């Protein structure tokens, strides 16, 4: 039993935005109201939340936990610890493991490992196609029965349009979304960064915006044809935002997410630190593979469109695309380096820069990390992303003004691959509560017995 006292309560699911107290009894939110009026009984612990914002636990629709198969990059234990530190009480894990999440056995394995780790809620996403090979549909009914919250071959697009049509049609039976990684591989080919002046200048093969947009357009047409729920993973271009806007206006059942890095970094970030001053040797991060990600970092114009899209409800959620990799995967020739950014532990700090710069308001940001992603997995988990009485006690506490410097050596994640290393952020997660249990607490947080 826990009293969270005197925090700034923000819960977009019920239009709540005021200072107050909140009570947690066992694993549920049992009371919420004005400061100093909570019906506290003997035995409650007290967490003083003054100066802090108290909101529903963040939900990440897109994390790569790597287990089974790539435990050198991440395990479910380390990934969920990273999630807790990042303020996430729920994460949906992607299916590109080895074996992929395409059978009940792998779903059960992931759920068991998550239960043993005992930190945050892990909701598996099942494959669209067997082995993620894009050739035949996975056993979607078996996966749905085993408890997946969506279907995705993320990391790869479903190239065959007819197969994608069947996947969308079939997904309606379970009322679960299909999440697509939108990339026309005949256009992206072996590109490694955005196609533009930086790719030309550095002599790296580019990935044009059209590679994403062509696939978004196809998927939207198929979603309209089938009436199924489509979710666009990691949208990055102005053109994608416009296509999704148009589809929403027509009533297509589509939702979309954007990552923190695509909202804050441009293609220039891959240039890294070219020269070590004084010696004029090329620095180890001359082409910074930590900024190599798929889809690639784009341009300022795209960022402006993505932020506008978030504000206008065209982009529904912010998702990390947490993609941990080993040092060896990244510290190699740029062309050979793996795509991906380890994102769970920097997401919130990085996103708060948008709030402090006046580009996004705090309530919208919280909504995109809580209430909105909850709606996308609502069919399975109705009460997530809310502080309403009776909801699971998933709560994130953060100090919007606490400053800190990113040091990837301190990450709980095995993936130290971040382009934000050394960045100073303002806004820090101070505690994460998942199902009533404090799964992360900053050194500054003290919980007193009553
Ligand atoms: O950068 C990426 N990394 N994009 C993806 O779609 C997959 C991910 C991974 O699994 O590493």
List, as one string, the DSSP characters of 371-419: HHHHHHTTTT-TT-S---TTSB--EEEEEEEEEEE--GGG-SSS----T
The SS3 of residue 262 is helix
- Residue 450, pLDDT score: 58
- CATH number among 3.20.20.140, 3.50.50.60, 3.20.20.70, 3.30.70.270, domain 57-386+413-420: 3.20.20.140
Neighbouring CB atoms inside 10 A of 298's CB total 25
| Mode of pairing for the β-strands spanning 151-152 and 178-180 | parallel
Cβ of 191 less than 6 Å from ligand 1:
no
Cβ of 417 less than 6 Å from ligand 1:
no
Cβ of 96 less than 6 Å from ligand 1:
yes
Cβ of 154 less than 6 Å from ligand 1:
yes
Residues of the chain with pLDDT under 50: none
Among 338, 342, 414, 418, the mutation site with the greatest number of ligand 1 atoms within 8 A of its Cβ is: 338
Domain regions of the chain by residue span: 57-386+413-420
Cβ of 438 less than 6 Å from ligand 1:
no
The span from the CA of 61 to the CA of 321, in Å, is 8
Tell me how far the alpha carbon of residue 398 lies from the centroid of ligand 1, in angstroms: 28
Cβ of 293 less than 6 Å from ligand 1:
yes
Neighbouring CB atoms inside 10 A of 341's CB total 27
Q: Which atom of ligand 1 is nearest to the CA of 323?
A: 11
Q: Which of 232, 252, 265, 417 is nearest to 350 (CA)?
A: 265
- Residue 141, pLDDT score: 98
Q: Which atom of ligand 1 is nearest to the CA of 155?
A: 6
Q: Which atom of ligand 1 is nearest to the CA of 325?
A: 11
Among 340, 341, 342, 418, the mutation site with the greatest number of ligand 1 atoms within 8 A of its Cβ is: 340
Q: Which atom of ligand 1 is nearest to the CA of 293?
A: 1
Burial of 99 from C-beta contacts in 10 A (0-12 / 13-18 / 19+): middle
- Which position has the token pair 């040797």? 281
For the chain, the 3-state helix, strand and coil shares in percent, each to the nearest 5, are 35, 25, 45
Catalytically active residues, by annotation: 321
The SS3 of residue 236 is coil
The span from the CA of 262 to the CA of 303, in Å, is 7
Cβ of 323 less than 6 Å from ligand 1:
yes
- Residue 278, pLDDT score: 74
CA distances from 314 to 14, 126, 236, 247, 338 (A): 21, 25, 13, 10, 30
């Amino acid at each position: 039993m826990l009293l969270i006292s005197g925090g700034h309560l923000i819960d977009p699911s019920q239009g709540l935005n005021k200072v107050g107290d909140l009570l947690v009894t066992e694993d549920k939110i049992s009371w919420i109201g004005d400061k100093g009026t909570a019906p506290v009984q003997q035995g409650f612990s007290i967490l003083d939340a003054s100066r802090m914002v108290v909101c529903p636990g963040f939900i990440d629709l897109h994390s790569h936990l790597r287990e089974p198969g790539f435990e050198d990059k991440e395990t479910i234990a380390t990934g969920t610890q990273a999630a807790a530190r990042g303020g996430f009480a729920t994460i949906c894990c992607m299916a590109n493991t080895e074996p992929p999440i395409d059978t009940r056995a792998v779903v059960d394995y992931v759920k068991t490992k998550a239960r043993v780790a005992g930190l945050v809620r892990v909701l598996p996403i099942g494959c669209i196609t067997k082995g993620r090979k894009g050739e035949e549909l996975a056993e979607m009914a078996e996966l749905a029965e085993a408890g997946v919250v969506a279907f995705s071959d993320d990391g790869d697009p479903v190239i065959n349009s007819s197969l994608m049509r069947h996947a969308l049609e079939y997904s309606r039976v379970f009322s679960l979304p299909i999440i697509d990684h939108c990339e026309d591989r005949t256009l992206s080919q072996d590109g490694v960064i955005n196609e533009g002046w930086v790719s030309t200048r550095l002599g790296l093969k580019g990935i044009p915006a059209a590679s994403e947009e062509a696939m978004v357009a196809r998927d939207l047409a198929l979603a309209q044809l089938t009436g199924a729920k489509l979710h666009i993973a990691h949208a990055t271009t102005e053109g994608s935002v416009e296509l999704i806007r148009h589809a929403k206006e027509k009533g297509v059942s589509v939702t979309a997410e954007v990552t923190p890095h695509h909202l804050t970094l441009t293609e220039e970030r891959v240039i890294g630190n070219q020269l070590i001053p004084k010696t004029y040797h090329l620095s180890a991060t001359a082409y910074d593979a930590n900024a190599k990600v798929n889809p690639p970092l784009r341009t300022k114009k795209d960022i402006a469109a993505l932020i506008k899209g978030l504000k206008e409800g065209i982009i529904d959620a912010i998702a990390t695309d947490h993609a941990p990799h080993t040092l060896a995967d990244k510290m190699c020739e740029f062309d050979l380096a793996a795509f991906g950014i380890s994102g769970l532990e920097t997401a919130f700090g990085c996103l708060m820069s948008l709030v402090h710069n006046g580009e996004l308001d705090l309530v919208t940001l919280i909504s995109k990390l809580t209430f909105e992603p909850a709606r996308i997995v609502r069919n399975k988990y109705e009460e997530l992303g809310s502080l309403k009485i009776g909801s699971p006690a998933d709560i994130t506490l953060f100090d919007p003004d606490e400053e800190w410097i990113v040091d990837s050596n301190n990450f709980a994640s095995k993936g130290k691959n971040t382009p934000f290393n050394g960045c100073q952020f303002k806004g820090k997660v101070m505690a994460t509560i998942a199902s009533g249990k404090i799964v992360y607490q900053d050194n500054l947080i003290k919980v007193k017995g009553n």
